[in-house]
C-alpha cells in the first residue's frame, strides 16, 4: 500500500532524515517510536506532502511521486489517499462537530451537504459521540475533540491514516479513550502509520514498530522483537528508558 524509498529531508543545513526506506502492506499498523526531534513528525508530513522531502519516492496505492519532480496534480491525488490526525486536533473552532466532519467532504470531495451529513453522522457515531454532533469543539474534552478529528479523517475514506502523537496533549484517562478508538479503527483493517510515545499501546496495536533515532530507522520489527529482543543497543536503551523511567 505504501512504499517509501530513499526519502531524505533537510531544513536548511540540518538533515532531519536521510535515505528512509519503508514498505507498508494494506492493513498494517506501523508505529514510529523514538526520541523527540528524531524526525517522526516530519516523516509523516512528507508522506502526504504537507512538507516536501528533497529526495526519494513516496508511493501510496497507485500514486507514486519522485520528490525532486513535484507534479502538483499527482500530489493532490496522493494527498487524497491519506488523512492525517494531528497532535492538537486542528478542529475549526467556529464550526460545530458535524460541520467539522462534513467540511472536507463538501469542499474537497464535492459531495452534497445532504450526503455529507449522513456520512459524518455515521463516523461521529462510530467514535461514540453522536450526541455531541451539534456542539462546538470548546464544549468537548480534549479526548473527545481528538475522537472527532479521527471521525473527520475517516469520513474522507482514506487508504491510509497518518496519526502524529494523537494522545500527547491528553491526560492518561483521555488518552485511553482515544487509544481505544484507534484500536477499533485498526481492527477494521485500516492501514495506519502512527507516531507515538505510548509504548504499551504501540506494543498492542502494531503490526510493526519502527524505532527511529537521529533521522534514521535504527530497527523495525514485530512488537515482540522490538520490546523483548531488540537487536540494536540503541533500541534496547530506548525501550529500557520506558520500562524504568526513573533510573533512566
Ligand X SMILES: Nc1ncnc2c1ncn2[C@@H]1O[C@H](COP(=O)(O)OP(=O)(O)O)[C@@H](O)[C@H]1O
From Mg ion, ligand X, none, interface partner of 42 (C-beta below 5 to 8 A by class): ligand X
With respect to ligand X, which residue has the nearer C-beta, 95 or 234? 234
Radius of gyration (Cα) for the chain, nearest Å? 18
Minimum CB separation of residue 16 from ligand X in Å reads 4
Q: Please pick, from the candidates 38, 41, 145, 175, the single residue that binds Mg ion as defined by CB under 5 A.
A: 41
Q: How far is CA 237 from each of CA 36, 131, 165, 207, 230, rounded to the nearest angstrom? A: 15, 45, 21, 22, 10
For residue 150, give the C-alpha cell: 479521527
Where b means 16+ CB within 10 Å and e means fewer, 175-185 reads bebbbebbeeb
Q: Whose Cβ is closer to ligand X: residue 99's or residue 198's?
A: 198
Secondary structure (DSSP) of 177-205: HHHHHHHHHHHTT-EEEEE-S-HHHHHHH
Residue 96 interacts with ligand X (CB under 6 A)?
no
Q: For ligand X, which is the closer residue by CB, 20 or 148? A: 20
> For ligand X, which residue of 7, 24, 40, 82 counts as binding (CB under 6 A)?
40
Near ligand X by CB under 6 A: residue from 2, 20, 22, 42: 42
* Residue 41 within binding range of ligand X, rule CB under 6 A: yes
41 vs 175 by CB, closer to Mg ion: 41
Q: Return the residue of 11, 52, 92, 107 that touches ligand X, per CB under 6 A.
A: 11
> Judged by CB under 6 A, which of 38, 145, 167, 235 binds ligand X?
38
196 binds ligand X (CB under 6 A): no
Indicate the residue among 13 and 62 with the shorter CB distance to ligand X. 13
Binding residues for ligand X restricted to 12-31, rule: CB under 6 A: 16
Q: How far is CA 81 from CA 40, 61, 62, 146, 154, in A?
A: 20, 8, 9, 21, 11
Residue with smaller CB distance to Mg ion, 41 or 153: 41
Per CB under 6 A, residues contacting ligand X are 11, 16, 36-42
Amino acid at each position: 500500500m505504501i512504499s517509501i524509498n530513499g526519502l531524505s529531508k533537510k531544513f536548511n543545513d540540518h538533515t532531519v532524515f536521510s535515505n528512509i526506506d519503508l514498505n507498508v502492506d494494506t492493513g498494517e499498523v506501523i508505529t514510529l517510536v523514538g526520541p523527540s526531534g528524531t524526525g517522526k513528525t516530519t516523516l509523516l508530513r512528507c508522506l502526504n506532502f504537507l512538507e516536501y522531502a528533497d529526495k526519494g519516492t513516496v508511493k501510496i496505492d497507485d500514486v507514486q511521486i519522485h520528490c525532486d519532480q513535484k507534479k502538483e496534480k499527482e500530489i493532490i491525488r496522493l494527498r487524497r489517499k491519506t488523512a492525517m490526525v494531528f497532535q492538537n486536533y486542528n478542529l475549526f473552532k467556529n464550526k460545530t462537530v458535524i460541520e467539522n466532519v462534513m467540511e472536507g467532504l463538501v469542499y474537497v470531495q464535492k459531495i452534497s451537504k445532504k450526503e455529507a451529513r449522513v456520512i459524518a453522522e455515521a463516523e461521529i457515531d462510530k467514535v461514540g459521540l453522536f450526541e455531541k454532533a451539534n456542539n462546538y469543539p470548546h464544549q468537548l474534552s480534549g479526548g473527545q475533540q481528538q475522537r472527532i478529528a479521527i471521525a473527520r479523517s475517516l469520513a474522507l475514506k482514506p487508504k491510509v491514516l497518518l496519526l502524529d502523537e494523537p494522545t500527547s496533549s491528553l491526560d492518561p484517562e483521555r488518552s485511553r479513550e482515544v487509544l481505544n478508538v484507534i484500536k477499533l479503527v485498526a481492527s477494521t483493517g485500516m492501514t495506519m502509520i502512527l507516531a507515538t510515545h505510548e509504548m504499551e499501546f504501540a506494543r498492542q496495536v502494531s503490526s510493526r514498530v519502527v524505532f527511529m533515532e537521529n533521522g534514521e530507522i535504527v530497527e523495525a520489527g514485530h512488537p515482540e522483537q522490538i520490546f523483548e529482543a531488540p537487536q540494536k543497543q540503541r533500541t534496547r536503551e530506548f525501550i529500557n528508558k520506558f520500562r524504568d523511567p526513573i533510573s533512566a
